[in-house]
Structure 1
């Protein structure tokens, strides 16, 4: 019974954090370790989503940049292969 409650708290923590703009996997782990305390922390933590359009746009741009994969033509791409120049 306690294990099921702890699992419920972990999943609920991840869902609450995802809705509020947090990283759900990180909060799932926090919920696994802390249980109901983690759920309470996710509820009380300030939301990463902003009602101000400028701040929300900046945060969305940062997330979009992190999601972009590196392309082969990019200069920042790290590779062990030598370039044929």
Structure 2
């Protein structure tokens, strides 16, 4: 009975987070670990979706900035290769 409740909490957490603009797999794992507390966390998290285009664009650019891969042309990268090749 407890295992079924925990699985249900994980699914509900993922669905709530997805509707609010969160990453579903991440929240599914949070729901698996925290159970009912994960559902509460998903309900209380701020929505990443907005009806105002400016706010939605700003939030999307923040998400894109966090998820973009490190580019080779980035000057902050550290390489073990010598530059005089």
**TM norm structure 2:** 0.73
Change (3 A) 1:82 1:15: farther
The answer to whether 1:11 aligns with 2:20 is no
Unaligned runs of 5+ in 1: none
Q: CA deviation at 1:54?
A: 0.9
**TM norm structure 1:** 0.73
What CA deviation, in whole Å up to 9, does each residue of 1:4-63 have, x standing for no partner? 2202211221231122122441x3343223312321331243312122211111111112
Change (3 A) 1:14 1:82: farther
Would you identify which runs of 4 or more consecutive aligned residues in structure 1 move more than 6 Å? none
Aligned to 1:52: 52
Please provide the CA RMSD for this pair. 2.2
Unaligned runs of 5+ in 2: none
